[in-house]
Amino acid sequence: MTTNNATLQSWVDEVARLTRPDRIHWCDGSAEEYAELVQAMVQSGELLALNAETHPNCYLHRSHPTDVARTEHLTFICTEQREDAGPNNNWIPPAEAHAKIDALFAGCMQGRTLYVVPYCMGPIDSPLARCGVEITDSAYVVANMRIMTRMGKAALARIEREGTFVKGLHSTGDLNPERRFIMHFPEELTIKSIGSGYGGNALLGKKCHALRLGSWQARDEGWLAEHMLIVGIQNPRGETHYVAAAFPSACGKTNLAMLIPPASMPGWKVWTIGDDIAWMHLGEDGRLWAINPEAGAFGVAPGTGPKTNPTALNMLDHDCIFTNVALTADDQPWWEGKSKEVPAFDWRGQPYDAVSGLPAAHPNSRFTVSMRQCASYSPRAEDAQGVPISAIIFGGRRKELAPLVFQARDWRHGVLVGASVASETTAAATGAVGVVRRDPMAMQPFCGYNFGDYWEHWLSFAERSDRLPKIFHVNWFRQDDSGRFLWPGFGENLRVLQWILERCAGRAEAVETPIGLLPRSQDLNTQHLDVDVATLDALLAVDAQRWNAELEDIRSYFEKFDERLPTGLWSEFERVQNALEHGTQVAVAVD
């Protein structure tokens, strides 16, 4: 398979001259091709076939111990002007970046196969979708891209019709961290990544295209590319409303996307559209319509268990690629939170010593699986137009301060709420764990340009429509002084979502506070829930002193963006700060 697109063919030839592979393979995305790739990797030892009786067509990949997470300090946005990348990104001038990384690409594919991977982010026939081509020397990357995107002949045909695509060049190189870079050239719609085989660094359709370059494309074209799940929530009346929600990695996004209603809430149903990324366009009706640009889930394994996320767990018993999980004695995948069984081998393949106290699976071990294997997969997931969004939810992992849920007063206040998100860091990225950092809209590692311009783009939607989604903030992780979680979480989070959707429909009450609109304890559905009124009051408390300190921290963060910070955001910040300083009259508000 080759192409009649001269630009694509010329680029493939150019890359081949630079990298000098032994052979070139154009991927067609077929089941036969996938089977051949997997078999070759099993024979080479790059993949380990798992127990065929319990996990048919499932395989384990073990990464190099230095290559197990996104390397944010080695990830760059390469724009002509440094200010366009912003203080939220690492920056190198494009000419310097190309020279540095191309020197590492020179001859790097000798003895290897160069794979040409055409792919489509989003339903193949959707006008909201965008295409790309990844060139890689990793069969593991090809196999994962087939699961995660619409990859192969149909994508190439669309590229040939439209004539445009994102260019992504990847090589595992020698996996030396000193020669590892992930570089983005948004003005050229180009990505170059070398020295890593980890998904977030190597599956270029995912974070690199769908978010970093996608956010740049979205700003230029008037839409939003966001680090958000998309879920449909059907109430007992048969009404389905769609929600987009942004949480930092490992803060419960996948769990919420696949939430199972508790037995105490009969008649409710949850439909999964996507668990990680949302592309949202303004429709002719003034509403935001969203598609999931991905076709699969690249989820964190530890913590995925029969209590936390049985839907996700049930997806993983066939046709799945696992990365850096542990193994039982009979070759079944294992990770902390999956079962009480003690594994035989850790994620490095060494005999596991339970006495050591070390985790058997890597904390950022992963599974790659088709979304079609999800029991709650929505029949509207492939709709070309997408689904209409009723509410946007922001959230993070905060032990204190943020209440269980509150609503922004309007779109501009909602942008401030999203821009102010902070969360404790997790194992999904290299660096310290448990440190509270600002993560606006959960896009800190993924926004492809200056956050000040990004927030201005968000604010602009209020000038384009009066039918935008209502915006909320949640915090499932509030704790008491002893470290006990105050909210049961998991399926019970549907109770909070019920209040959110009732607010969207104008059927629920809320109390006005300086930070936004909160439910009273009696406004939440707590029937059959073992949470007392005192605990609910603590979950919904707003401590003005703590919030004033939080605002000072937000102010310090915002000041990094100088004149790029929108005046509309500053004025909203000052309005909230003034309300906290002087107090507001408490009133019941019903839309």
CA distances from 419 to 159, 187, 423 (A): 35, 25, 12
The CATH fold assigned to 297-371 is Phosphoenolpyruvate Carboxykinase; domain 2 (2.170.8)
Taking the C-alpha atoms of residue 203 and residue 193, their distance in angstroms, rounded to an integer, is 10
490 known member of a binding site: yes
Residue 65 burial (CB < 10 Å; 0-12/13-18/19+)? exposed
**pLDDT value at position 434?**
62
Burial class (CB in 10 A: 0-12, 13-18, 19+), 435: exposed
Domain 6-48+64-221 CATH assignment equals 3.90.1150.10: no
Handedness of CA 398, 400, 401, 404 (dihedral sign): positive
254 is in an annotated binding site: yes
Domain ranges of the chain: 6-48+64-221, 226-294+379-589, 297-371
Residues 16 and 23 sit within 8 Å (Cβ to Cβ): no
The string of DSSP codes covering 522-552 is GGS--TT----HHHHHHHT---HHHHHHHHH
Q: Is 70 among the annotated ligand-binding positions?
A: yes
Q: Closest Cα to residue 1, out of 159, 131, 141? A: 159
Record the pTM. 0.96
Residues 411 and 466: their CA atoms lie apart, in Å, by 9
Of 160, 152, 162, the closest CA to residue 120 belongs to: 152
Q: Tell me the pLDDT of the chain (591 aa) as tens digits.
A: 689 999 999 999 999 999 999 999 999 999 999 999 999 999 999 999 999 999 999 999 999 999 999 999 999 999 999 999 999 999 999 999 999 999 999 999 999 999 999 999 999 999 999 999 999 999 999 999 999 999 999 999 999 999 999 999 999 999 999 999 999 999 999 999 999 999 999 999 999 999 999 999 999 999 999 999 999 999 999 999 999 999 987 678 888 999 999 999 999 999 999 999 999 999 999 999 999 999 999 999 999 999 889 999 999 999 999 999 999 999 999 999 999 999 999 999 999 999 999 999 999 999 999 999 999 999 999 999 999 999 999 998 888 899 999 999 999 999 999 999 998 765 555 566 667 789 999 999 999 999 999 999 999 999 999 999 999 999 999 999 999 999 999 999 999 999 999 999 999 999 999 999 999 999 999 999 999 999 999 999 999 999 999 999 999 999 999 999 999 999 999 999 999 998 754 333 444
Angstrom distance (rounded) from CA 368 to CA 437:
28
Among candidates 453, 491, 478, 474, which has minimal Cα distance to 568? 453
CB 85 within 8 A of CB 449: yes
Asked if the domains at 6-48+64-221 and 226-294+379-589 fall in one CATH topology, the answer is: no
**In b/e form, how buried is each residue of 212-226, taking b as 16+ CB within 10 angstroms?**
bbbbbbbbeeebbbb
- Which SS3 state, helix, strand or coil, does residue 63 take? coil
Write down the pLDDT at residue 590.
Answer: 44
Which residues carry out catalysis? 251
Determine the CATH number of domain 226-294+379-589: 3.90.228.20
556 among the known binding-site residues? no
What pLDDT was estimated at residue 432?
A: 66
